[in-house]
Structure 1
Amino acid sequence: MYKGYAVKNSMKINYIDNQILDSLKTPLIICPGLSEECTDYESIVKTLNDRRCVALSFRGRGNSSNADNGYTLEKHIEDIDLVVNELRLDKFCLMGYSRGVSYALGYVISNLNKIRGLIVGEYPAEHKSMNKGWAKEQMDVYNRHDLSVSITYDVLKSIEIDSKYKDFSTDLNKVKCPTLVLKGEKEDTLLSKSDISKYINNLGSKSIRIEKFSNSGHDIMKSELFQMIISIKNFLNYIDSTIL
């Protein structure tokens, strides 16, 4: 497993890469959630051994640089762009999980010509604004449950300050590539029935798959990782079959 950096000026974005360079199958790029880093997705990157697979750590997470110029939605989209350009990737599937979905959606809508498929996991089609005090509450949750996370309070506070609500619904009609939505069925899911309806009713895609995980809430990777990987594999194989 190769671990590298995409670098621009003082910003270094860490990524992992299975470096399967000789495959003609659609590559996958993974955008982790709020407090995750690229290595949290190492099992998926390794398992998808028939194609290129890359996962990145957004600014302020893991071994990526802290940002002097902010943590806005646009800056997170720049992190994806930096990795894509560093690895010279084109015609790939982009996956976002949890808050990583909003960063992925922002990238896709601005780079439609590069995208063969979209995977959204456990998050609505929006970039949420965080209320004052959210960062402290979030860090308290991590500490209370003794969770090991790759984000500091200072970064959370910067995200809180820079967060600005954006509804992607009006832009989803531009997204015409096949789309897979991953949804936990338990109480702590972050995808409501109305959120699912927004995806179905607004996406421009003619191929929308909704995969439901009955034994999971928000954290499908912890509860049903094997089944999640199967769903991703099947979806990627479907994308490949449409371009042959």
Structure 2
Amino acid sequence: MIYSKVEGSGKPFLIIHGFLGMSDNWKTLSTQFAAEGFEMHLLDMRNHGRSFHSNEFNYEVMVQDVLEYVNDKNLDKFILLGHSMGGKVAMNFACDYPERVEKLLVADISPREYAPHHQDVMEALNAVDFSAVSSRKEIEDIMSKYIKDFGTLQFLMKNVHRVTSDSFGFRFNLEAFNNDESVIGEALSSDKKYSGKTLFLKGGRSKYIQESDYNDIQNHFPNSIIETISNSGHWLHAENTNEFFIKVNDFICDK
């Protein structure tokens, strides 16, 4: 069973993080939504955060992980939000099990295929030899040779944890990601459709959702709207938390 953090009470609301992320990335927003009367479920996908590691890693098995989780928690109908990779999981889940999803929210990802584009990140992660480092500073210095963006570097450093009192490691399963990075960019199958209320949120400075994607989004999600979070890139929920909260809250509370 995948790991989760649960907070609040009321209507169930599940959030799925992006590639190399974890449930902790959403704790600030989770507290805000819990205060609005939602039972928040922040999930760690397989090979991420505190969830189990597996060599099998694709959208089909991640959807089944979510299904097993909601069945175990007796969540019959819920709001579902996913960011980036998590958005692809959420899209697939909603199309496969539409009766379980009351409303769908997708943050900064479209249904189309994305070519592998995390090469610098993967190079940085694979450059770390944990047998040869003794501090977080050393790990950060190694990765900073490949990653110049401070926000991205700090995002990745959140995955560094102490394995023992004198050794470090990544929480995610880097080996599984090295096997086939193209899995993350797979398109939603052309025959999949979800007719429930759907909100796509795009970062104002992000290129993940473009105007050329709008028809594809409408074909898969005919009852969808697309909104922009200003002054934000791909990590729109962290870069403009206030606007993200307002637009999501307005959508999920609208009858």
TM range (shorter): 0.7 to 0.9
Query: Which secondary structure state, in structure 1, belongs to the residue aligned with residue 214 of structure 2?
Result: helix
Please tell me the residue identity of whatever aligns with 1:176: S
Instruction: After TM superposition, give the deviation of residue 204 of structure 1 in Å.
Output: 3.0
Distance in 2 of aligned mates of 1:83 and 1:140: 33
Aligned alpha-carbon RMSD (Å): 2.3
What does the per-residue CA deviation read over 1:10-49, in whole Å, with 9 as the maximum and x for residues that have no partner?
xxx11111141xx3xx421111100111111111211112
- CA distance 1:163–1:223, change in 2 (3 Å): closer
Match of 2:213 among 173, 191, 195: 195
Please tell me the residue identity of whatever aligns with 1:16: K
TM-score relative to the length of structure 1: 0.79
> Does the Cα contact within 8 Å between 2:85 and 2:184 map onto a contact in 1?
no
Please tell me the residue identity of whatever aligns with 1:82: E
What does the per-residue CA deviation read over 1:140-199, in whole Å, with 9 as the maximum and x for residues that have no partner?
356233332533431321342756833345322xx111111101121x431111113321
Which is higher, the Rg of structure 1 or of structure 2?
Answer: 2
Match of 1:64 among 34, 51, 74: 51
Please tell me the residue identity of whatever aligns with 1:155: A
Match of 1:224 among 222, 226, 240: 240
Match of 1:215 among 231, 243, 255: 231
Distance in 1 of aligned mates of 2:182 and 2:109: 21
Please tell me the residue identity of whatever aligns with 1:190: Y
Count of residues in Structure 1 that have an aligned counterpart in Structure 2: 215
Structure 1: tracts of 5 or more residues without a match: 1-6, 8-12
Please tell me the residue identity of whatever aligns with 2:236: I
Matches within 5 A, 1:18-57: 18-20=7-9, 23=10, 26-49=11-34, 50-57=37-44
- Tell me the equivalent position of 1:123: 109
Matches within 5 A, 1:117-156: 117-126=103-112, 128=114, 130=116, 137-140=120-123, 143-144=143-144, 145=147, 146-147=153-154, 148-150=157-159, 151-156=172-177
Query: Following superposition, which runs of at least 4 residues in structure 1 exceed 4 angstroms of deviation?
Result: 127-130, 161-164
Distance in 2 of aligned mates of 1:104 and 1:87: 18
Distance in 1 of aligned mates of 2:211 and 2:202: 10
Distance in 1 of aligned mates of 2:26 and 2:109: 17
- CA distance 1:162–1:212, change in 2 (3 Å): closer
> Does the Cα contact within 8 Å between 1:120 and 1:180 map onto a contact in 2?
yes
- Tell me the equivalent position of 2:222: 204
- CA distance 1:40–1:163, change in 2 (3 Å): closer
Whether 1:158 aligns to 2:176 is no
Query: Which secondary structure state, in structure 1, belongs to the residue aligned with residue 232 of structure 2?
Result: coil
> Does the Cα contact within 8 Å between 1:29 and 1:95 map onto a contact in 2?
yes
Distance in 2 of aligned mates of 1:29 and 1:183: 19
- CA distance 1:95–1:164, change in 2 (3 Å): closer
Query: Which secondary structure state, in structure 2, belongs to the residue aligned with residue 195 of structure 1?
Result: helix
> Does the Cα contact within 8 Å between 1:126 and 1:168 map onto a contact in 2?
no
Whether 1:104 aligns to 2:127 is no
Structure 2: tracts of 5 or more residues without a match: 126-142, 148-152, 160-171
> Does the Cα contact within 8 Å between 2:92 and 2:188 map onto a contact in 1?
no
Query: Which secondary structure state, in structure 2, belongs to the residue aligned with residue 120 of structure 1?
Result: strand
Please tell me the residue identity of whatever aligns with 1:15: S
Over the matched positions of the two proteins, sequence identity in percent amounts to 20
Match of 2:191 among 166, 170, 173: 170
Matches within 5 A, 1:83-102: 83-102=69-88
What does the per-residue CA deviation read over 1:65-108, in whole Å, with 9 as the maximum and x for residues that have no partner?
1014x002111112211221121101111111011111111111
